[in-house]
Amino acid sequence: MKKYQPVSGEPIELVDWFFLLLLLLPLGGLLFAIWEVPWLLLLIPIIISNFYMTDSAIGKKQQKKLSDMVKNRKNDSICSFARSFDCRKIDTWVIRAVYEQLQNYMQGVHPNFPIRAKDNIYDELLIDDEDFDLDLVDEIAQRTGRLLNDLEKNPYYGNVNTVADLVYFFNLQPLKNAI
């Protein structure tokens, strides 16, 4: 005959039961839906596989496009990027900040990605518009010491599509410490 050890530990508290219930509710809902509508069981794998196949195909296509850009730009650097602008009219600190922040963003795609002034931010560099608006613009503004006030007064507001447009946009924004 086997001897059983007494259960050690404290009893489960009400809060713990509540969290356990929260974890089990979605599973119960899924099981109920499958019980009531069994053809959903066939539909779920089709939707999931279609989503992953479409997503990976787009990802491969984008990766190939960016790799081709890198191959065609072997000799490009920040120097060739800066030569795209008239440095007597454009603040060189803005040119550098835009280039380096875009480089930093593109780091996951390719280290030292060769950015050109004519590159379309969304179509060629494939930068997500939310990442652009919420992260990159703020980071560039901080690096350049430019304000993001009265954006509507900037002629490039709402018209930034290329990297050059981004440089011109920040060049026209007022400095934080300007009087």
pLDDT tens for residues 1-48?
566 666 666 777 888 888 888 888 888 887 888 888 888 777 777 777
pLDDT value, residue 23: 84
Q: Can you give the residue range of the structural domain that contains 30?
A: 14-70
* Residue whose token pair is 């969290």: 19
Q: Does residue 156 form part of some domain?
A: yes
Mean pLDDT in residue range 165-179:
84
Q: What average pLDDT does the segment 125-131 reach? A: 83
Per-residue pLDDT tens digits for 136-171: 889 999 999 988 888 889 888 888 889 999 999 999
Condensed to tens digits (0 to 9), the pLDDT of residues 37-82 reads 888 777 777 777 776 655 455 577 777 888 888 888 888 888 888 9
Do 89 and 150 share a domain, yes or no? Answer: yes
DSSP 85: S
Is residue 82 in a domain?
yes
Quick one: 173 exposed, middle or buried, by C-beta within 10 A (0-12, 13-18, 19+)?
Answer: buried
Cα 168 to Cα 154: distance, rounded to the nearest angstrom: 10
Is residue 28, in this structure, part of any structural domain at all?
yes
pTM for the model: 0.65
**Which of 48, 70, 92 is the last residue before a domain boundary?**
70
Q: Which residue has the tokens 């404290």?
A: 10
Number of domains in the chain: 2
Q: Is residue 1 part of a domain?
A: no
